[in-house]
Amino acid sequence: MRHANKHIPIWMVLIGFGLSISADVRAQKLVSEVKMIMERLPLEKQKKLQNFGSDIQSYINDFDWTGTDSDYEIPLSIQIYLQDMSASYEERYAGTFLISNTVDIQYYDKYWRFPHQAEDRLIHDETVYQAFTGFINFYVNLVLGAEFDKWGSLAGTPFFEKAKQINDQARFDAQFILGWEERTKLLQKITSQDNVPFRKSKSLFFTAFNAAEGDTSVKRTCLQGVSLVESVLKKDPEHKDALDFLKAHYLQIAEIFKDDDAVLQRLIAVDPEHKEAYQRFIDE
């Protein structure tokens, strides 16, 4: 029996039954959980910001990020470590930021700087860039782009384009420019031609993971994914997104090739961190 991933939503299962799901009816509803760590803030500011985490959750969860009518959900885990950077004329903060889909996508940023008053409302307005909401929007769109790439070849591109628009706006905010050079490089790496094979591999893997029982195309489809990831990691053995993906899904991949020692040996070569798991399938 295949190793199921508890976070695979129902639309992926539907793909396995051969149903056609067009881009305009695909998910998502984001369900975020935000953890605020404020122990280094003065007690007065901790009290002022006691609802900050729930405000961010509402900002994310109550907004339609994809323009689709769907109840399907993507979990989003966010951890923010705040420090006080206030000036005499304005309350400012430094944030260390970690965002993930809790499975195979994760981004970390230690350069976040933003102004914020406890009474400020978080409002979605794509026409106006703000240091706080723009940063959140940038990373949410990165996660959505990475998720949508699982549903179709390069299907996450519109979200990466939104992230680029935000990035371009942020470059004009001279007061809070710190970190945007690093974010520009991150986005350029994700959307580069060198990364296209990895992005394409994800839709192949997820098509294979969720194929109907007895589908003879499973191995062929999954092997195409393996070959693409293999080419990426041979060129860049430290490719973080590819390594994170294998860490989350290596058992599903190994299960598909449990009777194919040659492919399992290839997986050992490209993903030595999980050599023991692949070897167990070879030895069975």
Is 171 in the same domain as 93?
A: yes
Is 203 in the same domain as 276?
A: yes
Query: Is residue 43 in some structural domain?
Result: yes
Provide the domain limits for residue 130.
10-191
Is 106 in the same domain as 20?
A: yes
The pairing of beta strand 73-84 with beta strand 92-100: antiparallel
Is 201 in the same domain as 82?
A: no
Query: Is residue 278 in some structural domain?
Result: yes
Is 176 in the same domain as 252?
A: no
Which residue, 30, 48, 2, 192, is CA-closest to 102?
30
Query: Is residue 148 in some structural domain?
Result: yes
Is 55 in the same domain as 170?
A: yes
pLDDT of residue 11: 35
Query: Is residue 2 in some structural domain?
Result: no
Is 174 in the same domain as 222?
A: no
Number of domains into which the chain is organized: 2
Query: Is residue 125 in some structural domain?
Result: yes
Query: Is residue 124 in some structural domain?
Result: yes
Is 82 in the same domain as 179?
A: yes
Residues of the chain scoring pLDDT < 70: 1-28, 69-71
Structure token digits, residue 133: 């909401």
Domain boundary among 157, 191, 225: 191
The DSSP line for the chain is -----TT--HHHHHHHTT----GGG---EEEEEEEEE-TTS-HHHHHHTTTHHHHHHHHHHTS-SS------EEEEEEEEEEEE--BTTB-EEEEEEEEE-SSS-EEEEEEEEEE--TT------TTS--HHHHHHHHHHHHHHHHHHTTTSTTTTHHHHHHHHHHHHHHTT-GGG-TTHHHHHHHHHHHHSGGGHHHHHHHHHHHHHHTPPTT-TTHHHHHHHHHHHHHHHHHH-TT-HHHHHHHHHHHHHHHHHTTT-HHHHHHHHHH-GGGHHHHHHHHH-
Query: Is residue 4 in some structural domain?
Result: no
Cβ burial of 73 (10 Å; 0-12, 13-18, 19+) is middle
CB 72 within 8 A of CB 11: yes
If phi over 0 gives left and psi between -120 and 50 gives alpha, with beta otherwise, what is residue 214?
left
Could you give the CA distance from residue 126 to residue 148 in angstroms, rounded to a whole number? 21
Is 75 in the same domain as 138?
A: yes
Query: Is residue 96 in some structural domain?
Result: yes
Domain boundary among 191, 215, 245: 191
Is 141 in the same domain as 14?
A: yes
Is 166 in the same domain as 26?
A: yes
pLDDT of residue 18: 33
Residues 6+ apart with CB under 8 A from 159: 141, 142, 144, 145, 148
Is 31 in the same domain as 100?
A: yes
Domain boundary among 191, 208, 233: 191
